Structure 1
Amino acid sequence: MAADQAASLAKHASQSGERVGLTADRITVHGGKPLQGRIRVRGAKNLATKAMVAALLGETPSVLQDVPLISDVDIVTRMLEAYGVAVSSPDDGTLVLDPQNVEKAHFAKIDALAGSSRIPILFCGPLLHRLGEALIPDLGGCRIGDRPIDFHMDALRAFGAIVDKSYEGITITAPDGLHGAHIELPYPSVGATEQVLLTAVRAEGVTELKNAAIEPEILDLIAILQKMGAIIWVEPNRTIFIEGVERLEGYTHRAISDRNETASWASAALATGGDIFVENAKQPELLTFLNVFRKVGGAFDVAEDGIRFYHPGGALKAVQVETDVHPGFMTDWQQPLIIALTQAEGVSTVHETVYENRFGFTDALLDMGADIVVHKDGLESVTRRVPRRRLEQAAVITGPTPLHGADVRVPDLRGGFSYLIAALAADGTSTISNLGLISRGYEHIIDKLTALGADFELD
């Protein structure tokens, strides 16, 4: 079953990659050359797709600016169109989303479109408000660990929805309408917080959400919903109050910069001994990453239009990293950073507390010469600041170790970009296949590699 899911995911990723301009499935990289130059990141993947779903709640068209050309955006676009939303792009990076003719979609079509994305579950609240029913297929996404949808389903039930599961998927209805609820998440899940926000804004009454995620992308989504007419209070201690309203209008909004892509290119500069200026990178959303980047031995200069990341020379230093929800060190940052840590002097430890299978990508790094030991039950440490969590893991990286070329296959989005970094830093030639998965979150990846002077060919 897992093999079938992986094959389906790869197929959808490849198809979507083609639609966003990535036609190759393999790249051959000749490593050992520092990345140098200037690139630009656009709006955050983790905001743009959610903002597109939020447009379903409005009675008038919405305009989303600085949208990245990535396959996740392509998938959500086609799903919205399946529901009757007119999506147009008057210029590069801008989407106009008109939901005035929303209609029910054929389940088979939604099922076919959803294969490589977990976004469909966030359609539930808006569709219940607009159509009175939501049909959700089995969910895809990166195979980096269980992402239970129980948080989502429990929240929808709290609003008064009825959830019926079948062999096809999940049918959700609300015969008595949706009403405000008191919800406390067992874990500050980003997806579940988004689910509550997108459902509560038009539910009757007041919703109190405790233990909410407060990532910058969440706050940007709240800003969008407020522009649409929502009333949302963000209180201390991860508590959010939402007062439901009867009507929401469309919005005009520029998406927050993609901090995850920025951190990936920063790690690439460090691992290759390079110098990369990332236009549109923002310091406030990267404070935790920048602290670790500096501790490892990287240097950065913050400018009005972006941030320069570079290796200043000298030896890199081993560090201990603990992933956590915001404002902690993001789980999406640790995979690219691990490549740089293979070149640091000493023993680094990365404690992964968010996803239990996120170190699977390190197997290929061992073939490239890295010294990494994964502890599947995690590790105790007297210096830890993040409490231990069930199913957490730890990776111990000993360096520096020279990396050499190898043939590898992209396992997931961030792991795939990490393989690119490793190949660029390694001596010799590497071939990376299943390239389409990287297009889920990295726009114009080939153009950016070219701009930074990478030596590669596409197959």
Structure 2
Amino acid sequence: MGAPSTTATTPGSTDQRWYRIRGGAPLHGSVEASGAKNSVTKLMVATLLTPAPCTLTRVPRIAEVDVVLGMLTELGTHVEWLDEHTVRLTTERIADASLSEAYSGVNRIPILMMGPLLHRVGEAVIPLPGGCRIGKRPVDFHLAGLRAMGAEIVEQVRSVQVKTLGLRGTHVALPFPSVGATENLLLAAVRAQGTTVISNAAVEPEVVDLILFLQQMGALVDVEADRTIVVQGVDRLRGATHAPIHDRIEVASFAAAAVATDGRIEVVGARQDHLMTFLNHLRRLGGEFEVTPRGMTFFRARALEATHVQTDVHPGFMTDWQQPLVVLLTQARGASVIHETIYEDRFGYTRQLAEMGADIALSTLCLGGKSCRFAARDFEHSAVVSGPTPLTGVDLTIPDLRAGFAYVLAALSADGTSVIRGTRFLERGYEDPVGKLRSVGAQVETDPVPADRVAADRVAADQVPAVH
């Protein structure tokens, strides 16, 4: 079993130890949103369900994609890049159903491979997943659902052993509409014997994108009312070609950058239907948008004003939109409240924003108007942001992917220069962030890693908790 392959240079990748950003300049121009990381990586796993070739276009050249391709290669997948953003994946046979423990804690993708491997060879050994330092994010829902479908599971310290004589359809009621658990059950159900009903399922655009790909492969999947997904199992799936959705998190990130700097940015590939809740809050705050033939343009319509936001599952306000919004709220007049209901420990990044001058108070109370599952559990999952407060450039260290762009946004809004370290987190989820920022006028300098140290840095990056 090999270790993760992370040394190949990919077009569009960047190898920086830090960014130096000078703030205070409005951003103007156009950027194109990449394919959604949270969709592409799951689509790659789905290709394991068939021995036929599958082609994915609009694939972002980011480190997280490289990591998943390394996993697939280890399992027996042939990877062929047809152009800079198009990859063909063919898994004629599973060479090894035991994924290396080197991937333990790297990201949450391995746990999604259980269903496809059980269908292909009847067994698998999968390392336990990792994730951003934003909460425990257990896999109990995943394992309980697979057990109900007939999988025998033995949990070990760093891995999970699974085997089956054949998965069968069943009714799984998820205690929480978990995106990962829904995707896992979908991947297991499409080739299971009989019908699987997933109640309280996640219905995020990325989940729907996976369903559309599976349907092209020959799966029978119905999305019904009240978060119910019904899957009728089929004997085999064929190859397919699919263009993943654009990354709605990246879209929101650049939308926030336009509003924060009082600039104007068109994001090519932005879709209003994927952003409805975000757009409502952006407008209440003082931002505005226009739909264009290529996507959407974002800008500031008036002075920013405080607002109240509660994160929730789709179609609610996405938890990954929370961080750039908090930076915007530091420049809004009044006291804003953000209630985080998805992850219990996602406000740690605000402490460094406070060093820049932000006035952010954390609370263990549910301040969003209703109680959530973290009520009375001593988690600081609400924040009160008072503003406007001028931000001053400082040295920052990125703790996780989504906090990474929030720090970039804060640096762009600040007076003076900020140095941001830990950029590998950002680059695992954002394709060519420096190039895109420069294209809209951001003043960003970087510290390139010498060629003889690139491989070592990339290996080190794969030992840290993964992106969400």
| TM-score w.r.t. length of structure 1 | 0.93
Q: Does 1:334 align with 2:326?
A: no
Taking the TM superposition and a 5 Å limit, the aligned residue runs for 1:340-355 are: 340-355=328-343
The residue aligned with 2:122 is 132
> How far apart in 1 are the matches of 2:202 and 2:8?
29
CA offsets, 1:295-336, max 9 Å, x none? 100011111211101123x41010000100000000000101
> How far apart in 2 are the matches of 1:224 and 1:136?
24
Q: 1:17 to 1:446 in 2, by over 3 A?
A: farther
> How far apart in 2 are the matches of 1:437 and 1:308?
27
> How far apart in 2 are the matches of 1:330 and 1:198?
23
Percent of aligned pairs with the same amino acid:
50
Q: Does 1:187 align with 2:176?
A: yes
The residue aligned with 1:144 is 134
**How many Å apart are 1:46 and its aligned residue?**
1.0
Taking the TM superposition and a 5 Å limit, the aligned residue runs for 1:195-234 are: 195-234=184-223
**How many Å apart are 1:378 and its aligned residue?**
2.9
The residue aligned with 1:306 is 295
The match for 1:76 among 54, 68, 82 is: 68
The CA RMSD measured in Å over matched residues stands at 1.8
**How many Å apart are 1:387 and its aligned residue?**
4.8
Contact 2:360 2:383 (C-alpha < 8 Å) held by counterparts: yes
**How many Å apart are 1:278 and its aligned residue?**
0.4
| Partner-residue secondary structure (3-state), 1:277 | strand
Q: Does 1:377 align with 2:365?
A: yes
Q: Give the structure with the larger helix fraction.
A: 1
The residue aligned with 1:389 is 373
> How far apart in 2 are the matches of 1:376 and 1:121?
31
The residue identity in structure 2 corresponding to 1:284 is: D
| Partner-residue secondary structure (3-state), 1:349 | strand
> How far apart in 2 are the matches of 1:401 and 1:148?
37
The residue identity in structure 2 corresponding to 1:84 is: G
The residue aligned with 1:284 is 273
| Partner-residue secondary structure (3-state), 1:396 | strand
Q: Which runs of 5+ in 2 are unaligned?
A: 448-468
The match for 2:34 among 23, 31, 42 is: 42
| Partner-residue secondary structure (3-state), 2:16 | coil
> How far apart in 1 are the matches of 2:130 and 2:7?
15
**How many Å apart are 1:112 and its aligned residue?**
1.9
The residue aligned with 1:97 is 89
Contact 2:13 2:431 (C-alpha < 8 Å) held by counterparts: no
Count, aligned residues: 440
The residue identity in structure 2 corresponding to 1:237 is: D
> How far apart in 2 are the matches of 1:143 and 1:135?
25
The match for 2:16 among 24, 30, 41 is: 24
**How many Å apart are 1:101 and its aligned residue?**
2.8
The residue identity in structure 2 corresponding to 1:363 is: R
CA offsets, 1:311-364, max 9 Å, x none? 23x410100001000000000001011101100000100100000111000000
| Partner-residue secondary structure (3-state), 1:317 | coil
| TM-score w.r.t. length of structure 2 | 0.91
The match for 1:293 among 274, 277, 282 is: 282
**How many Å apart are 1:132 and its aligned residue?**
1.4
> How far apart in 1 are the matches of 2:372 and 2:54?
42
The residue identity in structure 2 corresponding to 1:220 is: D
The residue aligned with 1:419 is 407
**How many Å apart are 1:14 and its aligned residue?**
9.6
| Partner-residue secondary structure (3-state), 1:348 | strand
The residue aligned with 1:9 is none
| Partner-residue secondary structure (3-state), 1:397 | strand
Q: Which runs of 5+ in 1 are unaligned?
A: 1-11
Q: Does 1:85 align with 2:74?
A: no
> How far apart in 1 are the matches of 2:263 and 2:305?
17
> How far apart in 1 are the matches of 2:289 and 2:245?
21
The residue identity in structure 2 corresponding to 1:214 is: V
The residue identity in structure 2 corresponding to 1:40 is: E
Q: Does 1:362 align with 2:323?
A: no
The residue identity in structure 1 corresponding to 2:56 is: L
The residue identity in structure 2 corresponding to 1:293 is: L
**How many Å apart are 1:36 and its aligned residue?**
1.4
The residue aligned with 1:163 is 153
Taking the TM superposition and a 5 Å limit, the aligned residue runs for 1:433-448 are: 433-448=421-436
The residue aligned with 2:390 is 402
> How far apart in 2 are the matches of 1:194 and 1:17?
30
| Partner-residue secondary structure (3-state), 1:218 | helix
The residue aligned with 2:144 is 154
The match for 1:117 among 98, 107, 121 is: 107
